[in-house]
Structure 1
Amino acid sequence: MHPLPYFPYVGQQMHVEDVAISDLAQHVPTPFYCYSSAAIATNYKRYSDAFSGLDSLICYAVKANSNQAILATLAQLGAGADTVSEGEIRRALAAGIKAEKIVFAGVGKSEQEIRYALEQGILQFNVESEPELERISQIASQMNTTARVSIRVNPDVEAKTHAKITTGKAENKFGINIDLAPTLYQKAASLPGIEVTGVDVHIGSQLIDLAPFDLAFAKVAELVNTLNAQGIHIKVIDIGGGLGINYGEHSDEPDIITYAQHAKQHLGNLGCKIIIEPGRSLVGNAGVLVSKVEYVKVGQVRTFLILDAAMNDLVRPSMYDAYHHIATVSKKAEQATYDIVGPVCETGDTFAKNRAIGQCEEGDLVAIMGAGAYGAVMASHYNSRLNAPEVLVKGQEYSIIRERIDFDALLAMDTIPSWL
């Protein structure tokens, strides 16, 4: 897929749906995030179409982008939510996602978070360890309620992705070794306050090759058959998410239809509801980070394009060495090669090295593509920088869905003790 699938040039200007980004920049201070409602809907439909014919539920991975306007957009399309904290559960509920469509995952669920999730009546807990299972049992018993649980199994599958976002290997912190799972399921079935409903698997993020999924689904099917034979009736199989997107460095993008076929082949005849948890593949290429060129600095060895966006706005390049396609918002006839950097006082505040894009001058706008996932959610106020506002576009309309705070609000986050 082209790295600008939802942000085409109309004439000489990059657009998001029917709005020119250069027009947006007249009203919204740079840097800002901009998302396309149509792109999110199109990506969601690719999943719902691919999994049609299966009893399935698409639970959006809230961690990818947790803005309530994004969640509300997906809620209207029929999505549930895959959450990893009480805060994410609260966001999903506030955006109109019903509790019976919410899954709670994560390796470190606190007592307060478990209690809150049980009070809301969420669909299920994806349990990551034996101590967590015991804690949920204890709290559910105290509350005189029942927790529906799936146990996350670790299939020891090499996901072929970045080391920091692989989750399905034996040495990763996630889940229970799949060979040890039947024993834990037997224990779960005997615990008070626990209803064993399913099996959960998630092997990593930004996966392009579908072969690891094929292997993991086969292992899960084998486990489900084993558990059913032991009298533990599995009703739900949560296959996680993790499908990658094209950030512009390569042309490969996993085919969702083939992905769904792997699930149908291995899991479709087991009589279970299938939960899918896409995040990045729903919102990643539906968003851009728009930034202004502050300076063009000609160094001895390199020419630097210094932007007003920085690593505190988009940390992926410095944290994961991630590639993002970068394009000028106005089409340029001439090309030039730059190191594209931000103003933060870190050498790591670099978006791209030795990158050819349209020749820029001070004040020009550039768009960092594929920024809809793990962009705004991972941002910080490092260097006491104000947050990048977020904008959602639908057709000819746009709405600022998160305002930029001002310096007074930033400073008011701190409290100076009485003794100073």
Structure 2
Amino acid sequence: MLEQLTNAQLIEIANEFGTPVYVYHAEKIEQQLAELQQAFAGCKAKFFYACKALTNINILKLVNQLGANLDCVSINEVKLGLKAGFDAKRILFTPNCVDFAEIDEAKGLGVNLNIDNISILEQFGNRYGNSYPVCIRLNPHIMAGGNYKISTGHIDSKFGISIHQLRHIERIIKSANLHVNGLHMHTGSEIKDIEVFLRGLEVMFDIATHFPQIEFIDLGSGFKVPYQQDDVATDVRALGEKVAEAFKVYEQETGRKLEVWFEPGKYLVSEAGYFVVKANVIKQTTATVFVGVNSGFNHLIRPMFYDAFHRIENISNPQGPERIYTVVGNICETDTFAWDRKINEVREGDYLVFYNAGAYGFEMSSNFNSRLKPAEVLVKDGKTHLIRKRDAFEDLLKNQVEVAF
């Protein structure tokens, strides 16, 4: 198992680049991808990095060098992927609720298209017929994953075309002579129980009988990574074995050899990320001892957005006595990172690190309260690389247009 970055390394980075700062460990991303590749070696599997987790161009270049493909949810993510060197055929475009012009543009760029809306499917078929293959995203009506806000396969989800609309899909395909080359589903994030994937696969195999031209089934992702010391992660090796066996049986029964696609995002980059902040103040009230840090949900929104847990350690005083703190930010809003958390004694000026900060950390950051976005740093082969400069004051005004009144 690859060792995590040391306290000394993180402190050195904090001293050199200032705080708050996001730090990413390249070799950890490589290790996570290798684990998936080994786990699914028994079947014809392809992995598309869900880049909405972290789109820094250097991370995209690294993932490309490692041989993974790319999953994009906006046309600009597609363009970033192409700029990072991905071949168009290694990019999957899976948007939702977009204008047809975005689908049109993606087609013009030559990427794989994944359509999750009856209306868009019909428009595409009427315009292009069978001249360009498409994948169809289905909603399997499977409730899975962690927080309800990040579950995407249930009946109330905006994602995908309901499996109960199969007849409607078939009518559109027949009338427009559409070429459907794949079926897709994604039930959500943080899926511990591998049976969720297998139930979804059964649904997809059943529906695949209606689509004789498909070449792959895409099971999305949702692999859980551990956040706490004793947290349970998705057993990808066990899942890989069962998926391989299921595809083998399907081939024997139907004579069809299909690929299986996955779109890991958080799984690849979450554990590779560290968020280092500085303790500004220690504030004791009648009920609580607060550690007020030089950040807030403008930099890391996950704990406030959907109660995400991030392990927090004091890397400046790792041997200090444990005390109970509530860790909060410095913006004018309730921005609590952690309630009643045991942390080695924190002094003003100490550096704290948030673990599992690689996914949806910087990517969901903002300039709320007119505060500046942090720097990003990549550690590769033991060398430290600045991959995004910290915002400057001028960046707050960059796209504002001053007018005379």
**TM bucket by the smaller chain?**
over 0.9
**Which structure 2 residues correspond to residues 18-417 of structure 1 after superposition, within 5 A?**
20-122=9-111, 124-140=112-128, 146-191=131-176, 194-224=178-208, 226-228=209-211, 232-248=212-228, 250-268=230-248, 269=251, 270-330=256-316, 331-347=318-334, 349-417=335-403
Cα contact 1:159–1:168 (8 A) shared by 2 = yes
Give 1:336 deviation, angstroms: 0.9
State the distance in 2 between where 1:409 and 1:176 align: 41
| Matched letter for residue 7 of structure 1 | Q
- 1:404 and 1:84 mapped to 2: Cα distance? 26
Assess if the C-alpha contact under 8 Å between 1:339 and 1:352 holds in 2: yes
Q: Do the aligned residues in 2 keep the contact of 1:197 with 1:234 (CA within 8 Å)?
A: yes
Instruction: Return the alpha-carbon distance in structure 1 between the equivalents of residues 90 and 361 of structure 2.
Output: 25
| Equivalent residue letter for 1:343 | N
Contact 2:21 2:277 in 1 (8 A): yes
C-alpha RMSD of matched pairs (Å): 1.8
Conservation of the 8 A alpha-carbon contact between 1:305 and 1:338: yes
How far apart, in 2, do the equivalents of 1:246 and 1:281 lie?
10
**Amino acid across the alignment from 1:61:** A
Identical columns (%): 32
Which runs of no fewer than 5 residues in structure 1 stay unpaired? none
Q: Specify the alignment match of 1:7 in structure 2.
A: 4
SS in 2 for 1:353: strand
Counterpart residue type for residue 48 of structure 1: Q
Q: CA deviation at 1:111?
A: 2.7
Indicate how the Cα distance of structure 1 residues 56 and 185 shifts in structure 2: closer, same or farther if over 3 A, else same.
farther
Q: Partner amino acid for 2:99? A: S
Counterpart of 2:271 in 1: which secondary structure? helix
The amino acid that maps onto 2:322 is Q
Task: Specify the SS of the correspondent of 1:227.
Answer: coil
CA deviations over 1:287-320 (Å, ceiling 9, x no partner): 0110011111111110000111210000000000
Q: What code does the residue aligned with 1:116 have?
A: E
More displaced 10-residue stretch of structure 1: 44-53 or 67-76: 44-53
Asked whether the equivalents of residues 94 and 115 of structure 2 are also in contact (C-alpha less than 8 Å), the reply is yes
Stretches of 4+ aligned residues off by more than 6 angstroms: none
Matched-pair contact (CA < 8 Å) for 1:118–1:140: no
Alpha-carbon distance in structure 2 between the residues aligned to 1:75 and 1:258: 27
Distance verdict in 2 for CA 1:112–1:338, change over 3 Å: same
Corresponding letter in the other structure for 2:163:
I
C-alpha displacement at 1:262, in angstroms?
A: 3.2
SS of the residue corresponding to residue 213 of structure 1 reads: helix
Structure 1: how far apart are the matches of 2:186 and 2:322?
Answer: 42
Partners of 2:96 and 2:116 within 8 A in 1: yes
C-alpha contact 2:42 2:240 (8 A) present in aligned 1: no
CA distance in 1, matches of 2:46, 2:380: 25
Q: In structure 2, what residue type is equivalent to 1:84?
A: V
Shift of residue 43, structure 1, vs aligned partner: 0.3
| Ranges in structure 2 where 5+ consecutive residues have no aligned partner | none
> Which AA in structure 2 matches 1:90?
K
Match of 2:270, SS?
helix
Q: SS at 2:353's partner residue?
A: strand
Shift of 1:100: 0.3
CA contact (8 A) 2:107 2:113 kept: no
Alignment check: 8 A CA contact 2:145 2:222 kept: no
Q: How far off its partner does 1:249 sit?
A: 6.3
Residues 137 and 147 in structure 1, CA contact (< 8 A), matched pair in contact too: no
C-alpha distance in 2 between matches for 1:332 and 1:395: 29
Partner secondary structure for residue 147 of structure 1: coil
- Distance in 2, Cα, partners of 1:336 & 1:146: 65
Corresponding residue pairs, total: 398
Aligned-partner SS, 2:180: strand
Residues 339-358 of structure 1: CA deviation (Å, up to 9, x unaligned): 000001112x0100000011
Distance change >3 Å, CA 317–CA 6, structure 1 → 2: farther
CA contact (8 A) 1:335 1:356 kept: yes
Please state how far the C-alpha of 1:185 moved relative to its aligned partner: 3.4
Q: Give the TM-score, by structure 2 length.
A: 0.94
